[in-house]
Amino acid sequence: MPSVCLYFEVHQPFRVRRYTVFEKNHNYFNDEVNRRICLKVAHKCYLPTNQLMLELIHKHQGNFRIAYSITGCALEQFERYAPEVLESFRALAETGCVEFLAETYYHSLSFLYSREEFATQVDLHRKKVRDLFGQTPQVFRNTELIYNNDLAHFARQMGFRTVLCEGADHVLRGRSPDFVYRPLGCGDMKVLLKNYRLSDDIAFRFGNRNWPEWPLTTDKFASWINAINGNGTNVNLFMDYETFGEHQWPDTGIFEFMYHLPGKILEHPDNSFKTPCEVADAYELMMLRVRRRAPDALLEGVYLEQMVPKGREVILGMTRDPQFGPMLMFGLGGIFVEVMKDVSFHLAPITAEEAMQMLMGTRSYRLLEGVRSQARVNLAAIVEALQRMSQLVTDFPQIAELDINPFIVAEVGEKSVAADARILLSSGGAR
């Protein structure tokens, strides 16, 4: 984890012409302007980007998966002015790696005006998608990702099982958008929230040279995705399709960025790409497996822990002696501490030099320095951890015992992690 959910919105409005009350012609639309703009965006965005997405799907053998919502207005214009665009979307649909979503046919706010009009437009759009691409949408997205729980209930009654939503801060209230949520009192309905920060890094900030993170490279963006491992199940990147070639021009490097991004994200073995339906199904499958193993368990959600990188396991500890005060302990983890009892001790507080002497006081110190093909670990990280522990137990005399086991020490330049810890207070309460 996490699974990257890439969804693109495709919309072209019907532009109206200058119209006066004296005209008898009931054609309100400017056909020439609609044709010209549709063809322009088709050649700048839709055709080259569809070709790129098709190449990426084949290159990554189906592990790259995406989703689209194409408004009825856009589909009609493709049929009328740019049938080659429609064919390119059909080619994507035939790969089995692309999901098409449902929305209001005219990209409207009809849900706020008339539920009857809303249902009519959604049914019309769902039928259009089914006729053109052979898919019956299971996921709904409202115009501009506008959402409330009433919308989720209404969509569920229409047969949808997942709704997309803007990951607004005032809605999340400090929670992460990188999880699958359920609307209150809406059964098994799912809500996927947009990670607007990462989405907008591509959609809006990519070509901004005044942005502190410019230039945005695939290495940098993939590192932001990887940082969510253990802190979320999915990263929902929702954006307008015109990001490619129209909003971000080719000379910004947006096409090259998109070409290399999937491969860079998939370098991490825990990452994947999923469509919205697959994200929702993955959560359900996980919960189903838990229910099978523990049918009497009360399941209110899922808590994830970060996958800790590989490294050398050590143990850091402290016990408070009634006479001498806090006594620090260091040793290698695993069999070294359990069988060989290879540990060293020192009274707190300690200096950096004294912490280093604790390391060198173990018989297995040479393993930390690196032997044969094994790399040297970050000794400074252990020294710092021992000093911080020393300061902590000195400042808080109510701590009777403290264990960090294991403290996973990475190579120099990599992050070391305290994977588990236990504190026993003098009052007898374990935490």
Token readout for 299 is 């399941």
List active site positions. Answer: 144
C-alpha span between 122 and 103 (Å, rounded)? 6
Q: In the structure encoding, which two tokens stand for residue 351, read together?
A: 């200096």
Of the candidates 82, 59, 64, 65, which has an alpha carbon nearest to the alpha carbon of residue 12?
82
- Quick check: helix, strand or coil at residue 316? strand
Residue from 103, 109, 181 nearest 149 by CA: 181
The answer to whether 275 touches 240, Cβ cutoff 8 Å, is no
25 residue type, one letter: N
Give yes or no for a contact between 232 and 1, defined as CB atoms under 8 angstroms apart.
yes
In whole angstroms, how far apart are CA 368 and each of 118, 314, 343, 348, 380? 65, 10, 14, 23, 11
∠ Cα 122 140 198 (to 5°): 140
The Cα 341–Cα 280 span in angstroms is 48
Task: Note if the bond before 2 is cis, omega within 30 degrees.
Answer: yes
> How many Å apart are CA 342 and CA 365, to the nearest integer?
10
Q: How far is it, in rounded angstroms, from Cα 19 to Cα 33? A: 14
- Token pair of 186, please? 């809406």
Length in residues, the chain: 431
For residues 120 and 161, the answer to whether their CB atoms sit within 8 Å is: no
**Cα of 419 vs its chain's centroid, Å:** 23
Cα–Cα dist 108/106, whole Å: 5
Ordered DSSP codes for 233-285: SEEEEEEEGGGBTTTB-GGGTHHHHHHHHHHHHHTSTT-EE--HHHHHHHHHH
For residue 349, cis peptide bond before it (omega within 30 degrees of 0):
yes
